[in-house]
Amino acid sequence: MSFEELPHTADVKIRARARTLNELFSEAFLALMQVMYGTDRKAKVKREILIDAADPESLLCDFLSEVLFISEVDSMVFSGATISIDGSHLSAVLEGESFDPARHAGGTEVKGISYSGLSITWDANGYILDILFDV
Amino acid sequence: MIDGVLRTGENEWEVPVGYVPGMRVPGRFYLSESLGNTLEQGAVQQLANVATLPGIIKNSLAMPDIHWGYGFPIGGVAAFSREGGIVSPGGVGFDINCGVRLLTTPLAEKDVAGRRDLIDTLYRTVPTGVGAKSAHSLSPQAVDSMMIKGARWAVDAGYGVYRDLERCEESGFMKQADIRAVSAKAKQRGVPQGGTLGSGNHFLEVQVVREIYDPAAAAAFGISAGQVCVMIHCGSRGLGHQTCTDHLKILEGATKKYKITLPDRQLACAPITSPEGQAYFGAMAASANYAWANRQMIMHATRNVLAKMFSLEYDDMALVYDVAHNVAKMEEHTVEGKRETVCVHRKGATRAFGPGSIDLPGDLTSIGQPVIIPGSMGTSSYILKGTQTAMDKTFGSTCHGSGRVMSRTQAKKKMSGKEVAAKLLKEGIIVKAPSDNVIADESPEVYKPSDEVVQVVHDVGISRLVARLAPIGVIKG
């Protein structure tokens, strides 16, 4: 399981790898939080998210968009997620803490999760995700 | 130049039909030879993708700040027929009505040069960066009013003067705003963010007018050499981002319903006249209005800081103009010799209406619309004027900025934020940001040289140079 930022002139392009789809979504989620709030994020409280969507790409976009929404309106910074995907249904338990300007203000706001360039593929080592965050 | 792209004139290039399957019209972009090596294949592909959309008129266009985005390329412009044409959030972006305005002051450079206290006070006054909350306590009803009335709501609430409204594109509000089409989630995000700058490339800059190229236009715009101005660049914040996210999902379904074939899911769209298209347009207009009110509130806070610190009269700080650069509008243009109302999408492009346009304030009708092109932290910003050539070639549009050429990952490897800030300070530019990371991300070298970009639009004639402003103090979100 890992993610890395790939060169992209305008936005933030992430490539993630994982053995399972659940872990792949978790990596995308961690990448999103790292871009926005940096690496100093603690697990103090839990939040649950439920999403339904027609295909894995939509499920991922909707999930990450919901994370953006909750993070902004509830001033939450998340550090981890336990994700379970069953067909078109996703349930996630997020762990995080309240936004702390001293530790979390150094990142970049993500405006949206783009479908452009979004791909979920797999090879012998597992799943590969490319995804673009608009910043 | 990229394979398959044809040169059609000085600074003019064509992407022929067939570059991607399903193109209805050719793509056309404006770029100098020297900027040609900054062009990404992905951006050309996106320009060609737009040309496949139903109802597109004449060309899929891009300005010289063209670069690889999502959906439309950044710098993209396309107009669609009201009958048979589409509207797409991919042609506007997540940051609906991201835009820029320029405020003049009666101050000279000697009054503000080296005044770190000015930059510090502005930074404390205008909430900036990730997680920053509004200094105003807005009610949900106030957010509704912002979305309906735009900048006028802000002026009615005491954040400005009525003359400011004459100096905004669309007078600071789009009448098609439909707040019923804006989700509860989007409204919720709008409540704590009125008057906040945001992050990324958003900024508030103290600048000095260094050069005047067109004295008559500069005088009409209220700009003079040596004058201190403030430029504000931001958008519709979380409310606009959520509106785009919500309607992309709705329009994905509409794309299937209306049997529209797309080369990119981010170009999800619907016929302009369809219920889904109308809902997006109404929600997008409401978000655009929120952005105009937001910039008006930030300008008001800036005026108060300047008034107090330099004993200025509020009314001595006039707004030059406010332009949107991520928006879709119903506008009247000449199509095949006939006046027609069309839906113009500008995604990282600026309206540049020429002389005689009824949309301009009376005293600017003979000059053309003020066009504001922000630079980057170390490079100049420019004021231009709209032209008839823009009306003829680009649906009254020009570039919006300099356009990135370097990714954030490369930028961070190349230089630290501290090094960039120290280098800029030597040049007389004070930079303030929530973190060094932000400064490294947005250092001057990551952008195309702004002077080359505006020179292209000037030479092509889709707007003409009026003045150059250089930064002396920068607040980055």
Find how far residue B387's CA is from the centre of its chain: 18
Q: Which of B407, B387, B408 is nearest to B396 (CA)?
A: B387
pLDDT above 90 as % of chain B: 86
User: Which of A32, A109, A118, A133 to probe the B interface (max B CBs under 10 A)?
Assistant: A109
Supply the CATH number for residue A55's domain.
3.55.10.10
Mean pLDDT of B41-45: 95
Collapsing DSSP states into helix, strand and coil, what is residue B224?
Answer: coil
Q: Is the ipTM of this complex over 0.90?
A: yes
The number of helix segments (H) and strand segments (E) in chain B equals 16, 19
Euclidean distance between CA atoms B353 and B365, whole angstroms: 10
Structure tokens at B215: 């004295």
Euclidean distance between CA atoms B148 and B178, whole angstroms: 7
Q: In the Cβ-directed half-sphere of B105, how many Cα atoms lie within 13 Å? A: 26
Distance from CA of B37 to the nearest CA of A (A): 14
Q: Is the pLDDT of residue A1 over 80?
A: no
Euclidean distance between CA atoms B267 and B47, whole angstroms: 12
Q: Environment class of residue A53 by beta-carbon count within 10 Å: exposed (0-12), middle (13-18) or buried (19+)?
A: middle
Residue B341's pLDDT band, with cuts at 50, 70 and 90, is: very high
Q: How confident is the model at residue B58, as a pLDDT?
A: 97
Q: How confident is the model at residue B259, as a pLDDT?
A: 97
B84 near B94, Cβ under 8 Å? no
Place of tokens 């103290």: B206
Partners of B204 in the β-ladder: B232, B475
Mean pLDDT of A110-125: 93
Euclidean distance between CA atoms B118 and B99, whole angstroms: 23
Q: How confident is the model at residue B119, as a pLDDT?
A: 97
Q: Is the pLDDT of residue B403 over 80?
A: no
Whether A11 and B70 lie within 8 Å, measured CB to CB: yes
Q: How confident is the model at residue B350, as a pLDDT?
A: 98
Tell me the pLDDT tens digit for each residue of B357-383: 999 999 999 999 999 999 988 789 999
**Distance linking the first and last C-alpha atoms of chain A:** 24
Lowest mean per-residue pLDDT among A59-68, B337-346, B405-414: B405-414
Lowest mean per-residue pLDDT among B135-149, B183-197, B360-374, B398-412: B398-412
Lowest mean per-residue pLDDT among B172-181, B249-258, B444-453, B463-472: B444-453
Q: How confident is the model at residue A94, as a pLDDT?
A: 97
Partners of B330 in the β-ladder: B343
Q: Is the pLDDT of residue B342 over 90?
A: yes
Whether A69 and B185 lie within 8 Å, measured CB to CB: yes
Q: Which residues 404-423 of B are in CB contact (within 8 Å) with A?
A: 404-410
Q: How confident is the model at residue A20, as a pLDDT?
A: 96
3-state secondary structure A12-47: EEEEEEECCHHHHHHHHHHHHHHHHHCCCCCCCEEE
Euclidean distance between CA atoms B467 and B206, whole angstroms: 15
Q: Which of B447, B468, B469, B477 is nearest to B75 (CA)?
A: B447
Residue B163's pLDDT band, with cuts at 50, 70 and 90, is: very high
Place of tokens 């669309």: B170
Q: What's the CA dihedral at B441, B445, B446, B450 to 10 degrees?
A: 120
Q: Which residues in B433-448 are b (16+ Cβ under 10 Å) and which e?
A: bbbbbbbbbbbbbbbb
Q: Is the pLDDT of residue B154 over 90?
A: yes
Q: How confident is the model at residue B449, as a pLDDT?
A: 79
DSSP B446: G
Q: Is A109 on the interface with B (CB under 8 A)?
A: yes
Q: Is B377 left (phi over 0), alpha (psi -120 to 50) or beta?
A: alpha
Place of tokens 């452009």: A116
Q: How confident is the model at residue A89, as a pLDDT?
A: 97
Mean pLDDT of B326-346: 97
Q: How confident is the model at residue A29, as a pLDDT?
A: 98
Residue B404's pLDDT band, with cuts at 50, 70 and 90, is: confident
Euclidean distance between CA atoms A117 and A11, whole angstroms: 11
Q: Is the pLDDT of residue B448 over 80?
A: no
Q: How many domains does chain A have?
A: 1
Q: Is the pLDDT of residue B411 over 90?
A: no
Structure tokens at A61: 């976009």
Whether B408 and A5 lie within 8 Å, measured CB to CB: yes
Mean pLDDT of A109-120: 93
For B187, list phi and psi in degrees, rounded to 5.
-60, -40
Collapsing DSSP states into helix, strand and coil, what is residue B316?
Answer: helix
Q: Which of A48, A133, A88 is nearest to B199 (CA)?
A: A133
Q: Is the pLDDT of residue B38 over 90?
A: no
Q: Which residues in A66-86 are b (16+ Cβ under 10 Å) and which e?
A: bbbbbbbeebbbbbbbebebe
Q: How confident is the model at residue B132, as a pLDDT?
A: 87
Collapsing DSSP states into helix, strand and coil, what is residue B433?
Answer: coil
Q: How confident is the model at residue B253, as a pLDDT?
A: 94
DSSP A7: P
User: Which of A39, A68, A108 to probe the B interface (max B CBs under 10 A)?
Assistant: A108
> Sheet holding A126-134: strands in order across?
A2-6, A12-18, A126-134, A112-123
Length, in residues, of chain A:
135
Q: How confident is the model at residue B435, as a pLDDT?
A: 85
Q: How confident is the model at residue A127, as a pLDDT?
A: 97
Chain B neighbors of A60, CB-CB under 8 A: none
Average pLDDT, chain B: 95
Q: Which residue has the higher pLDDT, B311 or B438?
A: B311
B161 near B299, Cβ under 8 Å? no
Q: How confident is the model at residue B351, as a pLDDT?
A: 98
Tell me the pLDDT tens digit for each residue of A15-70: 999 999 999 999 999 999 999 999 999 999 999 999 999 999 999 999 999 999 99
Mean pLDDT of B420-436: 91
Q: Which residue has the higher pLDDT, B240 or B409?
A: B240
DSSP A60-122: HHHHHHHHHHHHHHTTEEEEEEEEEEETTEEEEEEEEEE--HHHHTTS----EEEEEEEEEEE
B66 near B43, Cβ under 8 Å? yes
Q: How confident is the model at residue A87, as a pLDDT?
A: 93
Q: How confident is the model at residue B413, as a pLDDT?
A: 81
Alpha-carbon distances of B111 from B105, B211, B219, B309, B310, rounded to whole Å: 11, 19, 22, 11, 8
Mean pLDDT of A90-98: 97
| CB-nearest partner of B405 from A9, A75, A101 | A9
Q: Is B150 left (phi over 0), alpha (psi -120 to 50) or beta?
A: left
B95 near B240, Cβ under 8 Å? yes
Q: Is A46 on the interface with B (CB under 8 A)?
A: no
Q: How confident is the model at residue B133, as a pLDDT?
A: 87
Lowest mean per-residue pLDDT among A46-50, B15-19, B244-248, B419-423: B419-423
B435 near B476, Cβ under 8 Å? no
Tell me the pLDDT tens digit for each residue of B96-106: 999 999 999 99
Q: Environment class of residue B363 by beta-carbon count within 10 Å: exposed (0-12), middle (13-18) or buried (19+)?
A: exposed
Alpha-carbon distances of B428 from B6, B203, B279, B373, rounded to whole Å: 43, 18, 48, 21
Whether B437 and A10 lie within 8 Å, measured CB to CB: no
Q: What is the CA radius of gyration of chain A?
A: 14
Q: Is A111 on the interface with B (CB under 8 A)?
A: yes
Whether A10 and B68 lie within 8 Å, measured CB to CB: yes
Range of the domain at A105: 2-134
Structure tokens at B362: 């009376």
Q: How confident is the model at residue B441, as a pLDDT?
A: 83
Euclidean distance between CA atoms B372 and B195, whole angstroms: 21
Euclidean distance between CA atoms B266 and B245, whole angstroms: 10
Euclidean distance between CA atoms B164 and B230, whole angstroms: 15
Structure tokens at B347: 């995604």
